[in-house]
Amino acid sequence: MLTVDDLNVWFGFAPDRVDAVQHAAFTVASGESFGLVGESGSGKSTILRAIAGLIDTWSGSIEVDGQAVTGTRRSRAFHKTVQMVFQDPYASLHPRHSVDAVLSEALKLQGMDDIDARITRLLQDVGLGRGFRFRYPHQLSGGQRQRVAIARALAAEPRLLLLDEPTSALDVSVQAEILNLLTDLRAEHGLTYVMVSHDLAVVGHMCDRLAVMQHGRILEVMDVDALRRGAGKTDYTRHLIEASAGYIRG
Amino acid sequence: MSRQMTRRAWLLSDAPQTRNQARLGAIYQGWLTFRGNKLAMFGLVILILLIAMAIFAPLLAPQNPFAQDLANRLKPPSAQNLLGTDALGRDILSRLIHGSRITLFIVGTVALIAPIIGLFIGTVAGFAGGWVDQVLMRITDIFLAFPKLILALAFVAALGAGIGNAVLALALTAWPPYARLARAETLTIRNADYIAAARLQGAGRMRLLIRHIWPLCLSSLIVRVALDMAGIILSAAGLGFLGLGAQPPMPEWGAMISDGRTYILDFWWVAAMPGLAIFIVSLAFNLLGDGLRDVLDPKGAKE
Amino acid sequence: MNAPLLSVRDLRVAFPTRQGMFEAVRGVSFDLGRERLGVVGESGSGKSMTGRAILGLVRPPGRVTARRMDLHGQPILNLSERKMRKIRGSRISMVMQDPKFSLNPVMTIGDQIIEAYRLHAGGPKGAGRAKALEMLEAVQIRDPERVMGAYPHEVSGGMGQRIMIAMMLAPDPEILIADEPTSALDVSVRTEVLNIMDRLVRDRGMGLIFISHDLNLVAQFCDRVLIMYAGRIVETLAAKDLHAARHPYTQGLLNSLPRLDAPVERLPVLQRQDTWRDGDPITESLETELPGGL
């Protein structure tokens, strides 16, 4: 479904050039849920943005569904295949667009017909009632906003969903609801997930395999059983797993 | 009463049932915020009165604003001429009432042209970036480098004196600050996640600009325009005062002050009355702008 | 030494809105001794507002009322801003979530700590400088001389938070209120920052109010935990007993966390009940010498 090889992403120009991602390589099979974990600044979100075509300074190869992509140009087919959910539900919805406007725009851009019925179905899919259709973002809670953002991503009926810390801005009880929703949607629509998170427990819950990143490099790719056992190949991974288990008085 | 209450509840509903209810609800919310600002309401009332005055000028004006009565020239305010008469014996009150039409015409036209030019140039520059940004912003800088009134003078001098040309000149000199403002807003908006999301949906540049960026820039522009109105009225009056705006015998407020200049020490009301009118209207626009900022400014609206 | 440092009874914070008064905090009561007291709740539970109310940082039109709010038996509710400023910093300090917004970007870090210290303790600049260096060392900053001359944007998030703690602790306060002090930090830095706070609290005998949304973290770090819901305390318990919590809300919060050691297909979702809003708080009789518990 997704193949990334020798991906380098940088910002700025020499001598201030920052290499955010270096020689990243991984593949995600169709129907798989793949996690990218690491601390802030490790480049995990940058990879997603490069795949989505939101960053133009990258080199290497990105193949989606067997089709190589270049620069920031993305074909119509790409938008129908890949969609993204962002971290901050307060920043990812246009403050002046109602839920209805957001979803109908997304549907129109994909050339869908029967928009009315589709909006109702999308809202149903993400667990929002009809009463939410004409609300503005400021009338929604964080979790509801994130549901709308997920509905927007689903409008294109994509097969690959890029999830950039979709629950890190939410309360734990709401996080559970959103994670359950994502699990259900994946089962229902046969989606492939690439999920970025700093929370190992969330990735452990959602993903089959994961890549551990530090300083822009992928240290190792492991499966979730290894994560649960705390069996990292590198010191950093083991340290990360240990630290995220909680606070141990030192 | 109960009907009133339900309508209010309908408007303030957190779960609107239709597109229209949502839209009306949003407007009503804004109106409630605006109404909370007493001074802004005061400004709004004055401006509504001004508009009414302009519409019904022929009915309201006690006398013909152009009728000269040389026997009655430079009379102080009295029962017959509430605000006195000018050097040609014309009733100042009637001229002020008719002059409100000219003021509104100037203000309205400039308020329509300048922000639109500014919005277009600013958002395109901010959104496109690169050399487009450079070229557009340097042009803006050139316009900004001249004092507004001087530039307007130059335009009017080139185009010829007259109210139409004065308006055009004012509009052409008023847009650069709006372009700056719109560009600054665009720069903060363009990297927002919701723009990225729309782009991922396959939205083209034009759509992003018009549907996503403009609505957000517009509100701060409207606030800015309302606050700038006073300046525009004064500039228009300045042009009129210098004889480059409205031509006699049009009762333009600035030109009226200019006429009264000669007699300012002995017959103060001739210049003071139009001055007072300009002052009140400018103040009203400023207060209105302040209230609009409470309602429209996205930064203030978060509270 | 059993008298509480801070004693709060029936604290309420209300804000006027278009729909009438909105109570963000609805009758919170607790005592704080020389202990680490965790305050846990979701966003909107009023936990941060409680901290701000204690420090007198609720801005009008917000209104703070309480039957009692005593610092060492001395009422501190609604003191004048001038008197409150004396207490703030020197006797009660606060560490905010994100150091980026709490440090002045145009002053060097050294100057800020010295100023914070001299504002309360006075004394010559030289003494302030020595104290600042000592504080930076206390929060385990290597090469404090260099950091003293740095500007906030030149340091990392974790270091910024340690600097904030140094600054807040410079005047030797009796109580430290930490509002989500580690939420903006990476896990590896988090442990360090917590260790520093822990040691300072223990060594100086301070009272710590640790406000957080992270139940597990609080359970591991604190002595006692208050769980807040909709502006009220719904349960008070010893941190070590957290996993034996009795209130359905606390249990629900704990269950909704994904766990590496116990994989599940679907996470249990918290079913909120209206009765939680006004029910009586569940309080266990604490078998500690710590005061309060209520």
Domain CATH code at residue B238:
1.10.3720.10
Percentages of chain C per state (helix, strand, coil), in multiples of 5: 40, 25, 40
Tell me if B201 and A53 make a contact (CB, 8 A cut-off).
no
Q: Which pairing describes strands C224-229 and C6-17: parallel, antiparallel, or unpaired?
A: unpaired
- Show the domain range for B121: 108-303
- The beta-carbon neighbor of A135 closest among B16, B202, B216 is B16
Helix (H) / strand (E) containing A218: strand A217-223
Query: Which of chain B's residues have a Cβ under 8 Å away from the Cβ of A92?
Result: 193-194, 197
Tell me if A95 and B216 make a contact (CB, 8 A cut-off).
yes
DSSP assigned state of B210: I
- Residue B177: is its pLDDT beyond 70? yes
Helix (H) / strand (E) containing C69: strand C68-71
Q: Sorting pLDDT into bands at 50, 70 and 90, what band is B1?
A: very low
- Residue A77: is its pLDDT beyond 80? yes
- Residue B300: is its pLDDT beyond 60? no
| Residue B121 located in a structural domain | yes
| Residue B35 located in a structural domain | no
pTM of the model: 0.84
Contact with chain C for residue A240, Cβ under 8 A:
yes
Helix (H) / strand (E) containing A86: none
| Ranges in chain C, pLDDT < 70 | 1-2, 284-294
pLDDT digits (tens, 9 = 90+) for C170-214: 777 889 899 888 877 777 778 878 888 888 788 888 889 999 988
Tell me if B298 and A95 make a contact (CB, 8 A cut-off).
yes
Structure tokens at C51: 């901290």
Tell me if B197 and A155 make a contact (CB, 8 A cut-off).
no
CA angle C77/C82/C84 to nearest 5° reads 35
* Gap from A107 CA to chain B (nearest CA, Å): 9
What's the residue count for chain A?
250
Tell me if A247 and C190 make a contact (CB, 8 A cut-off).
yes
What's the residue count for chain B?
303
| Residue B71 located in a structural domain | no
Whole-Å CA distances, A123 to A134, A146, A148, A152, B37: 11, 12, 8, 9, 38
DSSP assigned state of B202: T
DSSP assigned state of A70: B
Q: How many CA atoms lie within 13 A of B98 on its CB side?
A: 18
Q: In whole angstroms, what is the distance from residue B126 CA to residue B139 CA?
A: 14
Q: Give pLDDT, residue C289.
A: 43
Amino acid sitting at position C268: P
Query: Which of chain C's residues have a Cβ under 8 Å away from the Cβ of A239?
Result: 188
Q: In whole angstroms, what is the distance from residue B20 CA to residue B28 CA?
A: 12
- Residue A23: is its pLDDT beyond 90? yes
| Residue B210 located in a structural domain | yes
H-helix segments, chain B: 2-12, 19-36, 38-55, 57-60, 92-128, 130-145, 148-159, 163-190, 193-200, 205-207, 214-241, 253-260, 269-296, 298-301
* Gap from B200 CA to chain A (nearest CA, Å): 6
Contact with chain C for residue A244, Cβ under 8 A:
yes
CA angle B54/B59/B63 to nearest 5° reads 100
| Complex-level ipTM | 0.88
| Residue B264 located in a structural domain | yes
Mean pLDDT to the nearest integer, B269-281: 90
- When scoring A229, A247, A248 by the number of chain C Cβ atoms within 10 A, the one with the most, hence best to mutate, is A247
Q: In whole angstroms, what is the distance from residue C226 CA to residue C236 CA?
A: 5
pLDDT digits (tens, 9 = 90+) for C18-30: 778 888 899 899 9
* Gap from A56 CA to chain C (nearest CA, Å): 27
Structure tokens at A220: 């190792």
Give the count of domains, chain B: 1
Q: Sorting pLDDT into bands at 50, 70 and 90, what band is B46?
A: very high
CB pairs under 8 A between A and B: 79
Query: Which of chain C's residues have a Cβ under 8 Å away from the Cβ of A202?
Result: 258
